[in-house]
Amino acid sequence: MDNSPLQVLTVPTAPYPDQRPSTNGLRRKVYVFQSRRNYLHNFIQSVFSSIDLRDRQGSTIVVGGDGRFFNRTATQVIVQMAAANGVGRLIIGHHGIMSTPAVSCMIRKCKAIGGIVLTASHNPGGPDGDFGIKFNTANGGPANEAVTNKIFQISRTIEEFAICPGLQVDLTTMGKQTFDLENKFKPFTVEIIDSVESYANMLRNIFDFAALKELLSDKNHFKIRLDALHGAVGPYVRRILCVELGCPASSAINCVPKEDFGGQHPDPNPIYATDLVDSMRDGQYDFGAAFDADGDQNMILGKHGFFVTPSDSVAVIADNIFCIPYFQHAGVRGFARTMPTSAALDRVAKATKIELYETPTAWKFFGNLMDAGMLSLCGEESFGTGGDHIREKDGLWAVLAWLSILATRKKSVEDLVKDHWLKYGRNYFTRYDYENVDIDAACEMMEDLEITITDKTFVRQRFAVEDKIYQVEKADSFEYADPVDGTISRNQGLRIIFSDGSRIIYRLSGTSFDGATVQIYLDSYEKEHVFGDAQVMLAPLATIALKISQLHHRTGRTGPSVII
């Protein structure tokens, strides 16, 4: 056996112009990473080069992914390049799998300088699916715009990358593996860990596991159904909910991570989490939840499939936040939601006199507030909920938060939500996604729409639909001034706010590869009529939104691809 130090090579390469990471990292079809020479290597080198050499030398970095196709290949490349770039230690999830919340937890626990998350979130997997790479910084959260811009600028001029091609790590065996490299004084260490245990230990310090175990015990006849959609969170669900908290093994479905997510779309919403939705209909389960591929998103269902919108979910948690022991001890510093998310949380914040922040769509804005000690609970309409325990949204945390509230309040999910509506009124909310729209047509429509709504004559305009009249009170292109560092984020979506508090939001999503995704958000507040059908109640706003934007005419679409 050859025990000589492993060789470090410097390999010439040429840049690609399209490696600008979004807030979700760099996402592409798998074939892009496979077919374009050094495409993966270029981006990984750009990430390492964005870290100051003095900080990088001998440092610790966490690596984990959602287990999708190409995850293991990419992990091996990251190991080889980390060693060559002076990183001292990598902490990697068993089999290369680690949920995004667990990555954030581990970065913070081990005081790593950052982490590399291999995920395309709720996008499809498999050889014909999507793959993504995201860099998280030392606070455990997604890199801010200054960091992602630096990575992009490096990727545009990259000429070479460093790699140790002879280094092969065994992802299947837990424990430490050390490697001697030429011209390196200290060995390079890779530690394969059981990421479930460290994450579970964090949750034990947040929730009352004894109370949760009591709720889930046989004598209470409280039955739950959890669907991991064959993503990374499956082992966490089994270990924490089934083994530790005592749920029957049959409570957890689709918990074996698969490279193609079982051929399904790992998106926790009523459209794609059909196994869960179908199993909840007959009323045998009191509580249901689904998670996306990397475990940061969640969907909450009650008995008979009662759907809790993500906007309502964070508002209900906020209103019952002291059912969670962590907040009893730490207190509550602030609430926050992304701008498109319904204003249900605002009403709780006003009633409890807790500061409310409205941010652009990206979890990094929440992280900045948390680091400054200004924020405790936050959420977004796209099925993300979280607290200040880490710097990522956290699907399993949200489930335990709901179970803690149910254990304390001793009411059903549906009764809790309906009681909330009676107390605060209801924000009827939905999102229309028009996917794979021609990019030029979408951009031109948004540009013309902005001109229309920002014209001074647009304010005070009245729109009549059936027996309802909506008067425009405010219309703008949303911009956010970060209260921590003063950074201004512009062009974060177009808003029309009516005098009754109802809102229409238009955004272009940055996560589609085959074209643009135009998103229309409808948020209608009702103080009295809280038990109506959401789509019926929102129909007048939908008519106005389409009339103002002329979306069907401008894009050639007759209807949305997805309604959530």
Pull the structure tokens for residue 97.
Answer: 């799998």
pLDDT attached to residue 560: 66
Are 138 and 114 in contact, with CB atoms under 8 Å apart?
yes
pLDDT attached to residue 322: 97
pLDDT at 513 over 60: no
> What confidence category does residue 511 fall into, taking pLDDT thresholds of 50, 70 and 90?
very low
In the set 46, 50, 121, 549, the catalytic residue is 121
Query: Mean of the per-residue pLDDT values for the chain?
Result: 92
Are 273 and 229 in contact, with CB atoms under 8 Å apart?
yes
**pLDDT, tens digit, for every residue of 327-336?**
999 999 999 9
Are 380 and 361 in contact, with CB atoms under 8 Å apart?
yes
Chain-centre distance for alpha carbon 95 = 22
Residue ranges of domains in the chain, CATH in brackets: 9-194 (3.40.120.10), 198-424 (3.40.120.10), 426-563 (3.30.310.50)
Cα radius of gyration (the chain) = 24
pLDDT attached to residue 508: 87
Evaluated on CA atoms 240, 243, 246, 251, the torsion sign reads: positive
Higher per-residue confidence, 533 vs 406 = 406
At 29, the amino acid letter reads K
> What confidence category does residue 382 fall into, taking pLDDT thresholds of 50, 70 and 90?
confident
Average pLDDT of the segment spanning 165-194 = 91
Distant-in-sequence, close-in-space partners of 298: CB < 8 Å, separation ≥ 6? 268, 289, 290, 291, 292, 383, 384, 385, 395, 396, 398, 399
> Mind giving me the DSSP string for 410-432?
---HHHHHHHHHHHH-EEEEEEE
pLDDT attached to residue 298: 96
Beta bridge partners of 448: none
> What confidence category does residue 433 fall into, taking pLDDT thresholds of 50, 70 and 90?
confident
> What confidence category does residue 562 fall into, taking pLDDT thresholds of 50, 70 and 90?
low
pLDDT attached to residue 1: 46
**Angle between helix 413-424 and 344-352 (nearest 10):** 70
Burial of 26 (0-12, 13-18, 19+ CB in 10 A): buried
Average pLDDT of the segment spanning 98-107 = 97
**pLDDT, tens digit, for every residue of 33-56?**
999 999 999 999 999 999 999 999
Highest mean pLDDT among 181-190, 412-421, 473-482, 534-543: 412-421
Active-site annotation holds for 313: no
pLDDT attached to residue 216: 92
Kindly state the percentage of the chain with pLDDT values over 70: 97
Higher per-residue confidence, 487 vs 84 = 84
Average pLDDT of the segment spanning 459-477 = 89
pLDDT attached to residue 487: 86
pLDDT at 83 over 50: yes
**pLDDT, tens digit, for every residue of 404-429?**
999 999 999 999 999 999 999 999 99
